[in-house]
Amino acid sequence: MTADPVSPDDAARVREIVDRTYRDDSRRVLATLIRLFGDFDIAEEALHDAFVAAIERWPVEGVPANPRTWLVSAGRFKAIDQIRRRVAFDDRRPELERQLTELSQENPVTAEADDIGDDRLRLVFTCCHPALSADAQVALTLHTIGGLTTEEIAHAFLVPAPTLAQRIVRAKGKIRDARIPYEIPAAAELPDRLDAVLATLYLIFNEGYSATFGDTVTRADLCGEAIRLGRLVVELLPEPEAIGLLAMMLLHDSRRAARTDGGGELIVLEEQDRARWNREQIREGRELTERALRARRVGPYAIQAAIAAVHADAARSDATDWAQIVAFYDLLLNMNPSPVVELNRAAAIAMKDGPARGLDLINALLARGELANYHLAHSARADLLRRLGRTDDSLAAYATALKLTTQEPERRFMERRMASLKR
Amino acid sequence: MKYLCLIYDNEAQQSKMTKEEGGKMMGEYRSFTEDITKSGHYLGGNPLQPTSTATTVRSRGGKVSTTDGPYAETKEQLGGYYMIEAKDLNDAVQIAARIPAARTGAIEVRPIMAM
């Protein structure tokens, strides 16, 4: 007896359901499979096999009531088969046999049902474990949690695909060989470990928002991915700083369409067409900022979100409440002393009290040396000199900034500024 | 799972310790070792003589060469080790952080390869 033939319409419909399930649920299924097998590679292969099985069987047997449970269960059986085949000629035999016994005893349905949120959080903390290098954390997070291919990540970070693939292989190897646990940190460690997770998301967002190299200002795909991951963390662990980071990313990303012109040229904040800012992102970002600021402990991400919210509130550049922005920078500097924050504060003071006052601060900052090679310090200085009418000094500062800039649109922006000064 | 905790610290600074400071440090190590023995993490460990006593040996094409001193010149030198049993890397890191030299130098935590 053979199964009823499947009509092409049904096959297409089921294929669509499989695709949607892959998009919406494959990362959740993967997170659970990694917990069950304690091995990223086995879990990834099991995930792949489970979806192949779904494509084969759902058109014939019907779409299961709970596709996620079905996939975890199918992936688990496929992986047990795979391990069984491997046991025969693997030198880790005792370890694998122990795993097999455990796995065969575990009930996959109960293992999956109530733990799914926790599994995703475990995955986040494992991918952002401080024992992995920052590069590895970023690559592994985008690959495993974000579901991006190595080619996509390599393209976004402008590194050769084999380099990126190697980075991921090494990170997975370290998780396995040094036994980085698949767990949510204990309460005592949580703040530090959450910081590491947020720092990774911030790195991904920043690379997307202001690409370090290359011919475009932003890489929207990375920003979008960082925001998506930020939402996931807030959903799983609504800590004030996680909320603050998500708010900050949304508020910065809301300006994306206005930050470049049709030709991909950079437009600075004060010259942006604010009608092109994304109101929906601003609304959500502002709500989240307020939520983060109401927390007992207000952290640096929440403050940065608050600064972005003040900008978002100003209908025109000259209506910006610079006094409030300076106050927030004072708070931030107090919390998190850094020369880059000082630079931003100096730029805000220049807007509040005039360019001469800002220039004094930036000169003092540059004299300390830490920012000597930071292009934005020199371009900020050049801008203030330009406002003060000190054309020659401004040109010299732009020339220094230009030498230190690796991003094409930023270079062209400075060249345009220099050309207009020479007129 | 077994981990080797390699203890790196500034030898020059340690040699400048007074007798009192040296005694205090030894006491700290003694009580740390006792603690991790009681908790079942301790497998072994030893302090090492200073790098001035080290010899680096190489055998190339059947010819053995020996040179004075450690293999790598660094600011911090290998001064001792602990072999521990830990549940996972987090567990191992928690223990390594309690080694007295973690406060002044650095501890390298390396998983032992199962053979």
Averages of pLDDT over runs of 10 residues in chain B (115 residues) are: 96 90 94 97 95 92 91 88 96 96 96 89
Q: Distances from the Cα of A131 to the Cαs of A180, A199, A344, in angstroms?
A: 8, 14, 32
Please identify among residues 80-109 of chain B the ones whose CB lies closer than 8 Å to any CB of chain A: 87-91, 93, 109
Query: How many of the other CB atoms lie within 10 Å of CB of B33?
Result: 14
- Its ipTM equals 0.84
CA distance A187 to chain B (A): 14
E strands present in chain B: 2-9, 42-47, 55-60, 63-68, 77-85, 106-111
Mutate to test the interface with A, among B1, B5, B90, B115 (most CBs of A within 10 A): B90
Q: Which residue(s) pair with B56 in the sheet?
A: B67
CA closest to A129 among chain B residues: B90
Residue B62's region, left for phi above 0, alpha for psi from -120 to 50, else beta, is: left
Mutate to test the interface with A, among B2, B89, B112 (most CBs of A within 10 A): B89
B42 forms bridges with which residues in the sheet? B84
The partner residues of B65 in beta bridges, in order of sequence, read: B58
| Predicted structure pTM score | 0.81
Asked if residues A267 and A260 have their Cβ atoms less than 8 Å apart, the reply is yes
Which DSSP state fits B62? T
The per-residue pLDDT for A110 is: 47
Per-residue pLDDT of chain A (423 residues; tens, 9 = 90+): 445 556 777 788 889 999 999 988 999 999 999 999 888 999 999 999 999 999 999 999 999 999 999 999 999 999 998 888 877 766 666 666 776 676 666 555 444 444 556 888 899 999 999 999 999 999 999 999 988 889 888 887 778 999 999 999 999 999 999 999 999 888 888 888 999 999 999 989 988 887 666 666 667 678 988 999 999 999 989 999 999 999 999 999 999 999 988 888 889 999 999 999 999 999 999 999 999 999 988 999 999 999 999 999 999 999 999 999 999 999 999 998 999 999 999 999 999 999 999 999 999 999 998 899 999 999 999 999 999 999 999 999 999 999 998 888 888 999 999 999 987
Closest-CA residue of chain B to A177: B111
Interface test with B, best of A93, A177, A193 (most B CBs within 10 A): A177
| DSSP assignment letter at B74 | -
CB–CB of A179 and B113 under 8 A?
no
Cβ–Cβ below 8 Å for A181 and B89? yes
